[in-house]
Amino acid sequence: MRALLGLVVISIAAQGAVVIDRIAVVVNRHPVKSSDIERDIRLTDFLNRVPFRLDAAAEKAAEERLIDQQIIRQEISSGGYTRATDADAEALLDQIRRDRFGGSDARLRAGLIPYGLTEDQLRAQLLWQLTVLRFINDRFRTGVLISDEDVQKYYDEHRASFREPLAQASASIRSTLEGNQVTQQFESWLTDERKRTAIEYKTGAIQ
C-alpha cells in the first residue's frame, strides 16, 4: 500500500496508454498533483501569449508557483480576506476577449484549443489571479508610506526619463514607489512563509 500513496488517479486514455496523475509536492498536507502543474503551465503560457511547452524547466517553475499559491490561499482563508467576485473575473475575461480575439466567443474558444484549455478553466484562473491581487493590496498596501523626499529623490535619479516638472510627475512617481514597496513587502512575507511551511517534494512525480 505504501507504494501507492503517491498515486492519485490511474485511467486509460483513448489510445490505450496508461495515464498516471501523481502527487508532485505536498504543501502543509495539501497535495499538488502532476495534472495541477500541467494545467498551470497551460494557463500561464496562454495568458503570456507564448506557445505551450511542457518541459522540466516549465514544470519546476509551475511547481514553485503552486507552492506559493497554496501558501497564499491558506493566508486568505485564515485571515478572512475578501475574494474577487465572479463578476470581476467575467469583466477581465471580456477584456481578454476584446483585446485578443476581437470580442468573438468563437475565436476565444479556438485560441484555447492549442493549450488544451476550456473557457471555464480560464475564468477560474482569472478569478484566482484577481483574488491574489486583492489580497496583496489589502494585506500590504496599508503599511506603505511614501514621503515627499522619496518622490524628489526618485525624480532626481530618473530626471532624464521625465519631460514634465516634478509637480506634474509626482502622482505617477508616488504610485510607482508604492507599488514597489508593496511588492517588496509581499515577496519578503512569502519568503518567510515558505520557511515556515511544510513542503515535501515527491520524486518521479511528473510523467
Tens of pLDDT along 189-205? 999 999 999 999 987 65
- C-alpha cell read off for 110: 479556438
Tens of pLDDT along 84-110? 999 999 999 999 999 999 999 999 999
> Please, what is the average pLDDT of the chain?
90
State the pLDDT confidence band at 12, using cuts at 50, 70 and 90.
Answer: very low
pLDDT(9) > 90: no
Place of cell 506603505: 144
Spans of all domains in the chain: 143-198
Q: What is the pTM of this model?
A: 0.83
The Cα-based distances of 121 to 133, 167, 181 in angstroms read 19, 45, 32
Q: Please count the other Cβ atoms lying within 10 Å of the Cβ belonging to residue 68.
A: 16
